[in-house]
Structure 1
Amino acid sequence: MADDGFGHPRLAAIYDPLDPDRSDLDAYLRMAEEFEARQDLDIGCGAGVFALLLADRGIDVIGIDPAQPSIDVARAKPGSERVRWICGDATALPPLQVDLATTTANVAQEIADPVSRPLVTFRWTHVFGADGQVLTSDSTLRFRERDEVETDLVAHGYELQGVRDAPDRPGNEFVFLARRPG
């Protein structure tokens, strides 16, 4: 389900200007190089920043996001023709095979079902100076424990290869490296 902040065209358009420093993605680009990825599925690609960085490095990228306005912003960026954009969630994907599948930022926390822990909701109100329009967006996140994510990966047929500290949030978030056997 698309987060309110990305599902409205005006809010999707200001996402990048409100968060212009995406140096947090550098570590994930290094991981793509480390794993010698040739194809990537960027799940929850949003406005396409990471997908386009991967494409700049010659990686064949499919970006999928449930928010059509975010996909529209991504498609309007220079170089966007090198990425295959899909509006939908992971269940909307056609059969495919990739070397790497990524979720960055808060994508993993957006998966709120089934709920076994409290959800955290953030509310932002934006006032547009040009016309005074006021838009409010809620973002609901679910922060899961490491063992819960590991159990879910194994339950869905993945083999856990390792767990690393998130390079931009060491000690607070993790990067899970998993592979589907076969």
Structure 2
Amino acid sequence: MDQRFGPLYDAENPWGRDDGFFLAAVDETPAARVLDLGCGTGRLTLALAAAGHTVTGVDPHRASLDAARAKPGADRVTWIEGTSAVLPDAAYDVAVLTSHVVQEIRAEADWRRTLADLRRALVPGGRLVFDSRDPAARRWERWNARDSRRRIALPDGTVVQAWTELTEMRDDLVSFVHHYLLPDGDELRSPGTLRFRTEEELQAALGNAGFTVERIHGGWDREPVGASDDGELIVVARAGAAITPR
């Protein structure tokens, strides 16, 4: 990973309404043992620790974790490089997956395995909270040079021009490239592919993994699905009794 992406990511993704939602959701369990899976550079992870929770941040990208570890308050968090496979059993009261990280889990076998790992890592009755873009909102239609163009101001005063380009749609997989044009004319590109799952697909997968879905919101102000311009599927589920492997 180009080391220049870390400051770009943090500048483009400051604290937002989504972070406020997740922090409030976790705070419903005082002094919780919290897992932030796919924690990235630690924006929410550090805030959870500052709020008095015991927090573990897990991410497969070493560069992201290096950036997180360099931030103030990072010593309050246990940082682990890896995926859900590294999680211990019955170690957490709440697990969060934010910034649509569940859409990065593209293969259905990997998605099932991740949910099984999360169920194993949560105590019975523990909560799982995550966000996924609602495919019915068709947000990818805005991923073009005109509608997605934005300016990113870095802490040193540098201004980066950015836009997102849709490159392919295949079934429920959407591929794109983030473009970042630096002042010196150099251009960084960050490609990605996301899987868009419907509300019904999320419900079924969670049920099969031993979770009970308590509610699904359509926006960060807890609107019903389809009633918000946010275009989200924000899931709150609870882990059932442990499933004995066969």
TM-score for the superposition, normalised by structure 1: 0.85
Q: Distance in 1 between matches of 2:195 and 2:62?
A: 23
Query: Are residues 1:125 and 2:184 paired?
Result: no
Structure 1: runs of 5 or more not aligned: 1-6
Structure 1 stretch displaced more, 19-28 or 65-74? 19-28
- Judged with a 3 Å threshold, the aligned counterparts in structure 2 of structure 1 residues 165 and 121 are, in CA distance, closer, same or farther, namely same
Q: Distance in 2 between matches of 1:22 and 1:120?
A: 24
Q: Determine the structure 2 residue equivalent to 1:81.
A: 75
Aligned residue-pair number: 175
Structure 1 stretch displaced more, 86-95 or 138-147? 86-95
1:97 aligns with one of 50, 70, 91: 91
Q: Determine the structure 2 residue equivalent to 1:180.
A: 239
- Judged with a 3 Å threshold, the aligned counterparts in structure 2 of structure 1 residues 160 and 21 are, in CA distance, closer, same or farther, namely closer
Q: Distance in 1 between matches of 2:40 and 2:60?
A: 8
Deviation at 1:154, TM superposition (A): 1.1
- Contact 1:13–1:70 (CA<8 Å) still a contact in 2? no
Structure 1 stretch displaced more, 135-144 or 69-78? 135-144
1:53 aligns with one of 27, 47, 52: 47
Q: Distance in 2 between matches of 1:169 and 1:128?
A: 37
Q: Which of 1 and 2 has higher RCO (CA within 8 Å, sep 6+)?
A: 1
Deviation at 1:92, TM superposition (A): 2.4
Where does 1:19-168 land on structure 2 (aligned, <5 Å)?
A: 19-36=13-30, 38-114=32-108, 117-129=171-183, 133-167=186-220
Q: Distance in 2 between matches of 1:174 and 1:36?
A: 25
Q: Secondary structure at the match of 1:77?
A: coil
- Contact 1:9–1:70 (CA<8 Å) still a contact in 2? no
Q: Distance in 2 between matches of 1:24 and 1:67?
A: 22
Q: Determine the structure 2 residue equivalent to 1:4.
A: none
> What do you get for the CA RMSD once the two structures are aligned?
2.3
Structure 1 stretch displaced more, 98-107 or 15-24? 15-24
Q: Secondary structure at the match of 1:53?
A: helix
Q: Which has the higher strand share?
A: 2
- Measured against aligned partners, the alpha-carbon deviations of 1:118-143 in whole angstroms (never above 9, x if no partner) come to 2112212334446x654311121111
Counterpart AA for 1:153: L
> Alignment identity in percent?
37
Deviation at 1:99, TM superposition (A): 0.8
Q: Determine the structure 1 residue equivalent to 2:4.
A: 10
Deviation at 1:175, TM superposition (A): 1.9
Q: Distance in 2 between matches of 1:166 and 1:141?
A: 19
